[in-house]
């Protein structure tokens, strides 16, 4: 679908050397990299908005390296939306259609479809200045989709939003993609966002693409120290959230065990847990923490003053302990121990 | 209580005092002149054909100059706001030169280009347009001294328009022209409009460059000067008052229009 060959971007403090990308039609591709300049420029280069120093780009087999941005059929959504402040929401969304001189009927149909899809009917006559961050981002998305792009570029679309709208929009991005299969390239610095949305992830850092693979490959088998550090060895589970009948807690089912979690989310999703949030003990102990499991230590990674233990419950949990605790508790591979963590320490995404 | 208040607000009080002095310095001469005029003489002046002709000519020529400045200045302002090129600082500096040179000197400089025997004078002379002692000369002089105000204001306006708004428009299918007319220009419009108003106002008040290039036909500032030289204070004052009043009214109305529109955003 889109092929990027030997792309060079030079921005002074950020340099990308010889990037190669192959993104297939219908794929949700996430480019993951540290915060800072560069990822935006990579997207703008694909869209033809940023002059290339070197490199070539193909879109559906057609070379577009020198093609004007308005002829590429690539839409972009920026982190800070960039809605046209002098136009109403309606005119923002239909901007591209008016340029194409679409018929009023077609415009109404597209507007109806997008308002339905994103639940933005009530916003159509407002000016962008009066909208919340989440609402603005939906409008920006609607505007980008209105022209039925061949490729949708999302530049940190969730980063500027409050946690609540972020969760909502992330779910909507997923749903829209499942429904319409628009080829999407999404850049972010947020590892969990990448895992939740991506079919495949490319990790960029130190001026080049470090690894490309499925989310599982990236966090199970990081190919370099950089990727591992960026992905941070941590516990990530894929499972399903159910309501609990007894109280307001939700339950997360994974590999036959149930974690108590705090979330409004229901259905299939991911859960993550930082290794340092897990308490290791020889025996179960009463506390306010809602999760306690027993398992065997199957691996120990020495990190100097700290150690990472892999504990098989059935899923593997990675826990961080200090060397002092490790020695005092006389831990070793094969030992049966208990792990305890709070429901609120589990992040659902 | 009062003493304490004074003590804790020394800076504000001092600045209010200094500010009041300069404010009064500006408005007292204007108000004195307006209120010292007898309504009878003022009315008589209003119906003096020579006066009305001069005032209308002033407003008209300043408007033409603003129109020319708009058509030629806005594109330059956009270039300066959007592109980096070698010598850009020099271009920006040179554009502002007319603001700092004495306007009589500007008039002489213009005469050297637009005079009958000089470059532009000859080119335009061949199609029947003369600059010396003509309306065209007045427009040229006004344009020269007032266009920097428009260019600077429009440039600032364009700079405030995020370049990514233009980029989004391009990805949605807009050509560079469509992007300019549908996004950049409307968003910079307020700054451009206020630049236009400044330019027009500056044109109306121009005198120095105009008397060198085109003493006749007489614009209002020239008429005031001539009446002052020939007949003295009594006869020049009513014309001056009229010009001030008309400029003031137009200026206030336009400013209100610009401000009023802003509330809608």
Q: Domains of chain A: which residue ranges?
A: 2-232, 236-348
Interface of B with A in 56-115 (CB under 8 A): none
Which two structure tokens, joined as six digits, stand for A16?
């990308």
Q: Which residue has the tokens 């149909």?
A: A109
* Pairing state between β A347-348 and A151-155: unpaired
By the CB < 8 Å criterion, does A104 face chain B? Answer: no
Distance from CA of B196 to the nearest CA of A (A): 21
Q: Are B182 and B213 in contact (CB under 8 A)?
A: no
Is residue A85 within 8 angstroms of chain B, CB to CB?
yes
Contact A197, A42 (CB under 8 A): no
CA–CA dist A194, A217 (Å, integer): 13
Residue B162 has its nearest CB partner, among A49, A70, A82, at A82
pLDDT at res. B263: 46
Structure confidence at residue A232 (pLDDT): 63
Beta carbons of B168 and A78 less than 8 Å apart: yes
Residue A219: phi, psi to the nearest 5? -95, -15
Q: How far is the C-alpha of A92 from the C-alpha of A80, rounded, in Å? A: 15
What is the mean pLDDT of the segment spanning A279-297?
Answer: 86
Give the residue from B197, B193, B192 showing the smallest Cα distance to B78.
B192
Note whether A68 and A48 are within 8 A (CB). Answer: yes
Domains in chain B, CATH or no CATH each: 46-262 (1.10.3720.10)
Chain A residues within 8 A of B162 when measuring between CB atoms: 82
Please state whether beta strands A28-32 and A200-205 pair in parallel, antiparallel, or not at all (unpaired). parallel
The answer to whether residue B259 neighbours chain A at the CB level (below 8 Å) is: no
pLDDT averaged over every residue in chain A: 86
Stretch 15-54 of chain B: residues touching chain A, C-beta under 8 Å: none
**Parallel/antiparallel/unpaired status of strands A316-322 and A306-312:** antiparallel
Say yes or no: B175 contacts chain A, CB-CB below 8 A.
yes
Thinking of the domain A2-232, which architecture would CATH place it in?
3-Layer(aba) Sandwich (3.40)
Query: Among all residues of chain A, which has the CA nearest to that of B184?
Result: A84
From A178's Cα to the closest Cα of chain B, the distance in A is: 23
Mean pLDDT, range A222-239, rounded to an integer: 73
Closest CA to A149 of A84, A100, A112, A79: A100
Contact call for A68 and B167, based on CB within 8 A: no
| Contact A127/B at CB under 8 A | yes
CB contact under 8 A, A44 and B167: yes
Residue A229 confidence (pLDDT) above 80: no
**Whether B171 and A69 lie within 8 Å, measured CB to CB:** yes
The whole-model pTM stands at: 0.81
Q: Of A318, A283, A281, A274, which is closest to residue A298 (Cα–Cα)?
A: A318
Contact at CB, A69 and B167, closer than 8 angstroms:
yes
Chain B residues with CB-CB distance to A82 below 8 A: 162, 164-165, 167-168
Q: How would you write the pLDDT of chain B (265 residues) with one tens digit per residue?
A: 788 888 888 899 999 999 999 999 999 988 888 887 778 888 888 888 999 999 999 999 999 999 999 999 999 999 999 999 999 999 999 999 998 899 999 999 998 888 878 878 888 888 888 888 899 999 999 999 999 999 999 999 999 999 999 999 999 999 999 999 999 999 999 999 999 999 999 999 999 999 999 888 999 999 999 999 998 888 888 888 888 888 888 888 887 877 765 544 4
Q: Give pLDDT, residue B56.
A: 92
Hey, is the C-beta of A47 within 8 angstroms of any chain B C-beta? Answer: yes
CB atoms within 10 A of CB A302: 10
The token pair that represents A137 in the structure block: 């981002």
Please compute the mean of the pLDDT values over residues A268-291 and round it to a whole number: 83
- In chain A, where does DSSP find H-type helix? 39-47, 89-93, 95-99, 104-118, 133-146, 163-180, 191-197, 215-220, 225-231, 323-328
- The CATH class given to the A236-348 domain equals mainly beta
């Amino acid at each position: 679908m889109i092929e990027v060959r030997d792309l060079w971007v030079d921005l002074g403090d950020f340099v990308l050397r010889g990037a190669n990308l192959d993104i297939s039609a219908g794929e949700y591709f996430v480019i993951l990299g540290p915060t800072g300049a560069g990822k935006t420029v990579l997207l703008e280069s694909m869209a033809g908005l940023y002059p290339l120093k070197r490199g070539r780009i193909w879109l559906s087999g057609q070379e577009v390296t020198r093609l004007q941005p308005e002829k590429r059929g690539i839409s972009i959504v920026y982190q800070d939306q960039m809605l046209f402040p002098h136009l109403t929401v309606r005119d923002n969304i239909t901007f591209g259609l008016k340029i194409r001189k679409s018929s009023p009927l077609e415009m109404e149909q597209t507007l109806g479809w997008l308002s339905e899809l994103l639940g933005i009917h009530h916003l159509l006559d407002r000016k962008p200045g009066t909208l919340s961050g989440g609402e603005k981002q939906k409008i920006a998305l609607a505007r980008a989709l209105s022209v039925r792009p061949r490729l949708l570029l999302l530049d940190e679309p969730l980063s500027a939003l409050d946690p609540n709208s972020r969760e909502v929009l992330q779910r909507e991005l997923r749903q829209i993609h499942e429904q319409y299969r628009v080829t999407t390239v999404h850049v972010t610095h947020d590892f969990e966002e990448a895992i939740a949305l991506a079919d495949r992830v490319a990790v960029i850092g130190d001026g080049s693409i470090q690894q490309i693979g499925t989310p599982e490959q990236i966090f199970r088998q990081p190919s370099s120290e950089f990727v591992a550090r960026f992905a941070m060895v941590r516990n990530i589970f894929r499972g399903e959230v159910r309501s609990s009948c007894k109280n307001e807690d939700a339950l997360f089912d994974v590999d036959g065990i149930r974690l108590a979690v705090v979330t409004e989310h229901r259905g299939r999703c991911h859960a993550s847990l930082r290794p340092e949030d897990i308490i290791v003990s020889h025996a179960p102990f009463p506390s306010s923490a809602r999760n306690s499991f027993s398992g065997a230590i199957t691996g120990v990674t020495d990190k100097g003053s700290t150690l990472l233990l892999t504990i098989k419950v059935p899923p593997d949990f990675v826990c961080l302990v200090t060397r002092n605790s490790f020695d005092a508790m006389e831990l070793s591979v094969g030992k049966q121990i208990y792990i305890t963590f709070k429901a609120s320490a589990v992040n659902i995404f | 209580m009062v003493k304490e208040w004074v003590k804790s607000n020394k800076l504000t009080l001092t600045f209010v005092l200094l500010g009041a002095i300069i404010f009064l310095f500006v408005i007292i001469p204007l108000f004195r002149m307006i209120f010292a005029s007898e309504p009878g003489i003022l009315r008589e002046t209003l119906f003096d054909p020579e006066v009305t002709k001069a005032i209308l000519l002033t407003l008209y020529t300043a408007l033409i100059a603003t129109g020319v400045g708009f058509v030629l200045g806005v594109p330059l302002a956009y270039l300066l706001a959007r592109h980096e090129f070698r010598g850009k600082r020099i271009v920006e500096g040179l554009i502002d030169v007319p603001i700092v040179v004495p306007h009589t000197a500007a008039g002489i400089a213009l005469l050297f280009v637009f005079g009958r025997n000089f470059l532009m004078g000859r080119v335009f002379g061949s199609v029947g347009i003369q600059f010396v002692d003509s309306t065209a000369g007045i427009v040229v002089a006004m344009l020269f001294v007032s266009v920097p105000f428009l260019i600077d204001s429009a440039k600032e306006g364009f700079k405030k328009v995020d370049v990514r708004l233009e980029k989004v428009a391009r990805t949605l299918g807009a050509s560079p022209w469509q992007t300019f007319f549908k996004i950049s220009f409307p968003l910079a419009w307020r700054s451009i409009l206020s630049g236009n108003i400044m330019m027009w106002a500056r044109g109306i008040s121009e005198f120095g460059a105009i008397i060198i290039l085109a003493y006749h036909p007489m614009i209002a500032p020239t008429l005031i000067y001539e009446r002052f030289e020939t007949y003295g204070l009594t006869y020049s004052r009513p014309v001056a008052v009229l010009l001030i009043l008309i400029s003031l009214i137009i200026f206030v109305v336009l400013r209100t229009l610009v401000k009023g529109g802003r509330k809608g955003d």
